[in-house]
Amino acid sequence: MHEWALAESVIKTSAEHAAREKLRCVSEVGVALGELQSIDREIFAFALAELVKSSFKDLAACKFSLLDDPAAFKCRACSAEFTLKALKRTGEEAENIHFIPEMAHTFLKCPECASPDFDITAGRGVTIKHIRGEQ
């Protein structure tokens, strides 16, 4: 269950940030979930709540906002930027990409020049976008 490991690192990072910034309480943490990361939001939200309850009581008043981080790509051949949604694809391909982001290169091509050589510029992993609190 990688949701639990991810939730724990989000909480640890938030707690460390709060300590560094001398925040009395953290009110909100915005967490962007990558489209390619394949995270079960319900499990992730549950894991956050449970971990705070059991081991990070300082963050009890904190609200975790789960945000979308849509996948984006940039072609290395022609510099075109494109998104997953913009590409025509079958359901099966989309499934594979969600399970293994590295597979994107096998299934996707640049819509401009058809090159399979592109960078994934967004939509991987879990990112803390903001941490709000009171000093």
**Contact 60/52 with Cβ under 8 angstroms?**
yes
Helix axis angle, 2-20 relative to 41-55, nearest 10°? 50
Shortest spacing between CB 81 and Zn ion, in angstroms: 9
Alpha-carbon gap, residue 126 to 123, rounded angstroms: 8
Binding mask 53-82 for Zn ion (x = CB under 5 A): ----------------------x-xx-x--
Amino acid identity of 30? G
Residues 6+ apart with CB under 8 A from 128: 10, 13, 14, 17, 29, 30, 31, 32
Residue 19 engages Zn ion in binding (rule: CB under 5 A): no
Shortest spacing between CB 89 and Zn ion, in angstroms: 17
3-state secondary structure of 89: coil
Residue 110 engages Zn ion in binding (rule: CB under 5 A): yes
Question: Which region, judged by CB under 5 A, interacts with Zn ion, from 29-37, 87-95, 105-113, 121-129?
Answer: 105-113
Question: Which region, judged by CB under 5 A, interacts with Zn ion, from 24-32, 46-54, 100-108, 115-123?
Answer: 115-123
Alpha-carbon gap, residue 53 to 46, rounded angstroms: 11
Q: How many whole angstroms from its chain centre is CA 17?
A: 19
Residue 113 engages Zn ion in binding (rule: CB under 5 A): yes
Residue 86 engages Zn ion in binding (rule: CB under 5 A): no
Nearer to Zn ion, 111 or 125 (CB): 111
Nearer to Zn ion, 65 or 115 (CB): 115
**Binding residues vs Zn ion (CB under 5 A):** 75, 77-78, 80, 110, 112-113, 115
